[in-house]
Structure 1
Amino acid sequence: MPNDARLLLLDKDVVESLLLPDDVLDAVREAFVLHSRREGRVFPLVRESLAAGGIFGIKSGDVPTQNLLGFKAAGFWPGNRQLGGEPHQATIILIDPATGRPICIVDGNAVTTMRTGAAGGLGLQQLARPDSSSVGLFGTGVQARVQLSYALRLMPTLKKVRYVSATGQPNLSFEAHFSARYDIALALDRNAMVAESDVVITATPGAGALFDLGAVRPGTHLNCVGADTNGKRELPDGLLQRVHLFVDDRAQASQIGETQWAPNTPCVELGDLLTKDAQFNRGRDDITVFDMTGLALQDLTVARMLYNCACESGLGNALAWPW
């Protein structure tokens, strides 16, 4: 049996040093395309509540023609805040499909953040009005920041940002990250913010509807991030029936995304727009929603990119992993 096998460990510092926004964007776009062409498979989702109070999930898949196989074990442990840690935790493992042996273990926290931001940016490029100039953002956390960063990066017409914070108070550090180039300020009325925004991004824990149905005006695009578990939601009742609905994965969105609240709503997978298998000619008054639940293939294509970069750069810790 082989006894010289190695397992590469990529910790937080290595991952963050290699996660360049454009590289992540390319990897996430590839994941959408692979999914659309059914060259990449997404296996059944695991998402379970734990007795200890957390939520644990596994997203897995493969791309047989590329010898890509793996999974991400991730979830949400709210008690970590009291320990001074991050509630979201994720670990990605790449596996040799020929032998089942692990190749690389990746700290998945920053990967999850960045690939979700990149997916949101691609959704905006495909679905928002090209002349959109204003963003309404729910949330000021890690995911809200990366969603806004990719939105502003990929849609240079966006100049005005209004946001709703969990406390209802201005988040000065959040504002400072963007204020040098953009008009950013706290929104005093969430419904008014939605009504005045060309693009609305929801990046909250998904505890309930964030605004009233009547606040959404014609022509708005909404990127919805927070509904990623059964029972979570950010949108009001009745909205999905009024919109053109887009998802990353139809089955998964109806399980854990906003689409769970209206599972029979017709929808299109975003990857089909990228491959031109589906067409959408936006009318100026169309309302569009991108229900984002996160594809396993996104985690795998980004992790493979990191693995290749680390090998080329001599980064990471290689451990003996004999058979």
Structure 2
Amino acid sequence: MLIVPEREIADLMTRKAAFDAVEKVFAAMASGEAYNFPVVREAIGHEDALYGFKGGFDRAGLTLGLKAGGYWPNNLDKRGIINHQSTVFLFDPDTGKVKAMVGGNLLTALRTAAASSVSIKHLARKDAKVIGMVGAGHQAKFQLRAALEQGTFEKVIGWNFHPEMLPNLEEVAKEAGLPFEAVELTGMTEADVIITITSSFDAILHADHVAPGTHVACMGTDTKGKQEVEAALLARARVFTDEVAQSVSIGEAQHAIQDKTIKIEDVAQLGAVINGTNPGRTSDDEITLFDGTGVGLQDLAVAAAVVDLAVEKGVAIEVDF
């Protein structure tokens, strides 16, 4: 078995490599070459933690495995480590033997950011100039860096529950040589692209906060009960997702489905846009919305890529298991 420790990931996996892996696996999902297993995600009744498993099998890439981990909200304050903790396990699809164990913390951040940036590439208007961020935590910096590579943006605006965290977004904007402005949620109507990345259980972004022609990437809702945007926004938008089953059960679409604002048939796979079997955006006035629930195949794709790189660079640890 090969082990790629968390400490090695930053020197191995780039944003471009994560983007390419995620875009490819979304396309494979839409064509039926890859599928995800049902998600297990539970509140364990200890440390307010959410823990679970996401897995799947990519027949095209012969990638089989799972990611185990979750969200420990007290980690940063109590222990000085990030709240999201995970590990990816890869298995040989021919024999079932374990192939690799890979640190999943940075990979999760990179693949989540890659998913929203893939949606921006395929669904946002080509003339998008202003990007809006709802959320300014640890993951928001990854989201913004990846998103800014998908267009010629001229300005970043942001909102957060805790305004003292907004310098996280300003830092990334400055890296890109762009101005940053803190706004109220009503100010999000200036944005051409909006990314929501919070852990909210109540709708934050409302339909009247979003202007016609905007692309919205909802990246924080991955558990039953979570919600970042009101259902009325999904009713206004053309809705796309990584996987429909997750979107309507644990993603942003769960609420719009429950109150019958939209139907399951209204939710399409982003991979179909990548493959060319769905037209995606059809007008400049259309609102598009990507419900990024986070699928196991994303984790497996980036983990498999990082294992190959680790072997190539001689940093993978081999153990007899």
**Residue type at the aligned position of 1:191:** T
Larger radius of gyration: 1
Contact 2:158 2:181 in 1 (8 A): yes
Q: Hey, what's the Cα distance between the residues in 2 that align with 1:121 and 1:39? A: 22
Cα deviation, residue 136, structure 1? 1.3
1:140-197 CA distance string (max 9 Å, x none): 12221111111111112x111011133223633542232141111222x2212x1111
Aligned residue for 1:306, secondary structure, equals helix
Aligned-pair identity in percent equals: 34
Q: Hey, what's the Cα distance between the residues in 2 that align with 1:66 and 1:207? A: 36
Aligned residue for 2:201, secondary structure, equals coil
Contact 2:140 2:169 in 1 (8 A): no
**Residue type at the aligned position of 1:27:** A
- Where in structure 2 are the equivalents of 1:252-267 lying within 5 Å? 252-263=246-257, 264-265=263-264, 266-267=266-267
Query: What is the match of residue 86 of structure 1?
Result: 82
Query: What is the match of residue 28 of structure 2?
Result: 34
**Residue type at the aligned position of 1:29:** E
Aligned residue for 2:208, secondary structure, equals helix
- Where in structure 2 are the equivalents of 1:175-194 lying within 5 Å? 175-180=170-175, 181-187=177-183, 189-192=184-187, 194=188
1:111-142 CA distance string (max 9 Å, x none): 11101111111101111111111111111122
Q: Hey, what's the Cα distance between the residues in 1 that align with 2:113 and 2:60? A: 27
Contact 2:4 2:317 in 1 (8 A): yes
The 1:304/1:133 distance shift into structure 2, 3 A limit, reads same
1:61-107 CA distance string (max 9 Å, x none): 11234332100012111121212221111110001122221111001
Moved over 4 A (4+): none
Contact 1:16 1:110 in 2 (8 A): yes
**Among candidates 200, 208, 216, match of residue 222 of structure 1:** 216
Aligned residue for 2:149, secondary structure, equals helix
In the alignment, structure 2 segments of 5+ residues that lack a partner are: 258-262
Contact 2:144 2:169 in 1 (8 A): no
Q: Hey, what's the Cα distance between the residues in 2 that align with 1:304 and 1:262? A: 35
Query: What is the match of residue 241 of structure 1?
Result: 235
Q: Does 1:67 align with 2:62?
A: yes
Query: What is the match of residue 300 of structure 1?
Result: 300
- Where in structure 2 are the equivalents of 1:125-144 lying within 5 Å? 125-144=121-140
Aligned residue for 1:44, secondary structure, equals coil
Query: What is the match of residue 260 of structure 2?
Result: none
Q: Hey, what's the Cα distance between the residues in 2 that align with 1:134 and 1:73? A: 36
Q: Hey, what's the Cα distance between the residues in 2 that align with 1:170 and 1:117? A: 19
Contact 1:71 1:93 in 2 (8 A): yes
Query: What is the match of residue 55 of structure 1?
Result: 50
Query: What is the match of residue 113 of structure 1?
Result: 109
How large is the Cα RMSD of the aligned pairs?
1.5
Decide which moves more: 107-116 or 280-289.
280-289
The 1:244/1:20 distance shift into structure 2, 3 A limit, reads same
The 1:173/1:252 distance shift into structure 2, 3 A limit, reads closer
The 1:67/1:287 distance shift into structure 2, 3 A limit, reads closer
